Structure 1
Amino acid sequence: MKKDTYVDTGTPGIKQNVITKKYVVSLDFGRQLRMNKKTGRMEMKQIKTTRTVSTMKEAKAIQGKNNALKKTRRTTGITRRIAFDQVLDEYTEYYKSTWSDSYMMQKQSQAKRMKAYFSDRDVRNIDTLDIEKFFAWCKESQLGFEHPLSNNSVQKIRTHLKDFWRYMKKNQNRYGITENVVLDADYGEVQVFKGNILNAEQVNYMLQFAINYEADYSVWSMIGFTVLTGMRRGELCGIKWRNIDFENRLIDVEYQRCQISTGSIEKVPKRGNDAGHTREERKQRYAALPDILVQMLDHIKAQQEEYLQRSVKPDDYIYMTKENLVRGYLPHPGKVSRRFSEFLNRVNKARGKDGLEPLPYVRLHDMRHTFISLCLNGGVNRFQVSANCGHTYSGEDNNTTVSTYWHDDGNRSEIIGLINQIIQVNIE
């Protein structure tokens, strides 16, 4: 068989077949990652091919498109570096539909630091030592990042990076990542955060400030349910009017409301079993309802009815801001803590004007710590405090009699008596 003969067209990479008169374009795709079938490993190989077209115009168009693609492609692992910042954006875009709003905000904040440090470095050239240097960089004040991160915050960034590298390893044909370099990176010792508590004088000041100056009574419910009953944030968001037993001075902690990517859901309280057949299995419990909280709830109810222009219903939530009530949507549980921090700043400004020391830094969850500490230091029965707060009692008295035969009778009289004695605020 006669071999085809080609002639030069004067354009590099394009030649013409003398017999068929068609044009053959030589295409160089550069170095690409390909699986070596003999070794089973990914290796860089030069990839070339040809295409046959009818006209010179088509040949030049194909060649120009290929050359442009080689110059602009950054994340395919073919001709140029696989840029960290661009792959991180691809990873975020791929997973963001599964993240809640608050989780997405956390990821974006972490990604900002990652991009500032790694920029457009080739991810294939980043090793474990580079990751450890990045962790050390995060723990120092940097331009644009004035506040150094604690080991606990760096641990969260490590989790983000670990998931990011796992994503690239899963798509190794595209990114060329064959191992997770983050797994062995040392980020330092994690420090256990110890919460602060407020004393009785500070609690009274905070409550009186809320009553005197907070026009939106949802702040009253945020402070009242946490520091006067020891509720968790999710339980605060899950309390409805039907859960309030004014006659017996009890609150039925039936559900908590948690945030998910598509909105919020109701769940049984923390560590509870949704499939449980009894209140004990579901961790549902009764919390004390002190006198001052009863008075606060009367005002909260009146304000909600004013905003709603109707009577509150048993299934209406109690913790609802004015905007939530007017626009008809539920508050974001993740934003309650931030709202508490903003309230605490206002309280400390007022204390400064009054010549008082500012309150110590406390989280919303520290109000639960404060409530439990006030009760135990005030001599309230430990079993009653544990039952009120949804804890399984453990201690030196946790023997068979306690763990097997003791049952909570719902009595919260000691707690109510102590809180009524400690809290001295005025509601007009």
Structure 2
Amino acid sequence: MAVNLQIPEKSSVFPVAGIEIGIAEAGIRKANRKDLTVFRLAPGTAVAGVFTQNRFRAAPVQVCEANLASGSEIRALVVNTGNANAGTGAPGLKATHDTCEALAKLLGLSAHQILPFSTGVILEPLPVDRLVAGLPAAIGNLAPDNWFDAAYGIMTTDTLPKISSRRVDINGHTVTITGISKGAGMIKPNMATMLGYLATDAGIAPALLKEVASDLANQSFNRITVDGDTSTNDSFIVMATGQCGLSVDSREHPAYAALYQALAEAALELAQKIVRDAEGATKFMTIQVEGAGNTDEALKVAYAVAHSPLVKTAFYASDPNLGRILAAIGYAGIADLDVGGVNLWLGDVLVASNGQRHPDYIEADGQRIMKDAEIKVRIALGRGNATETVYTCDFSHDYVSINADYRS
């Protein structure tokens, strides 16, 4: 059950000039479902990506990294669901290369100009023959207004599609930004199983776009967690077609700040929608840590709280057993933490001050906040000026059921 996740009207999902998308049914894992998506990019489109840090990086992740590093102009993306093509060794790499070569031949490109992506079950061979057989149908479906259908096409255990789309005026140019993401479980990106594609018709110089993609990921997809598991396939791709007339070549450009802000808002929306649709989630939780000595400290504490199964199950039960949060703060890894300086709020309720239960706190106040579908936990460490925020969810019975049945 998604937590306050709204699907936009199809008419409010704006096409990005220079990008066409096609969707097809290839029968990768199950029949009669859209499981193959192709993006075709106009010449001159800049592309950058951020990928999983898992050492078992899937074959498509390895090929994406190599193709981006080659300096080739990326002209197409291909995404399959139902099979992650991870833990598949040399045969998996060959299957990915075969996919790129097949799509390149159909589009009149080089295989190095293709970025491949897979998501689904790990440790199973990719049925590349079915994938390749489905490519002509996907290409035949190419259209600029297929973002909405593509958001459905890349889903696995997601219950709803994740879409963000907006038009903003920047320096006299109408700039379109549209993106989609997927992910519901195995989410703790260290760059979630997560895929994200964000595009704009503004132009961004390739070297700058690489930095922008990393910064966007760090402030969005790298600030979410569902279960603390980093997938083998996590990928976040940013595309800038340059077709709206605005072109940004440096951080000093007068349009850079506004363009980056608009992209950052879209990326964060896509990331938060993954948490809102997390497997079995009933609560959306914001964990804000302030007064940390540095960013690393703040994130250690935020993730310790966000990952704690005891905290997450208490939130599911709407049980204000908030000592579990203090315990997580204490084991987060700050060796010299003075617990006497720690304050904790649940929503607008001050629960603990100076490291102990606040004298005015009553459990009924905590219970009132815990019943909400969206809850903010604010932690002040009293050590410095660094602040970081992480987004997470509760753990329910359904999370176990979904993952117990995932391969069936």
**Is TM more than 0.5 here?**
no
TM-score (norm 1): 0.21
Q: Which of 1 and 2 has higher RCO (CA within 8 Å, sep 6+)?
A: 2
Greater Rg over alpha carbons, structure = 1
- Which structure carries more strand by proportion? 2
Scaled by the length of structure 2, the TM-score of the pair is 0.22
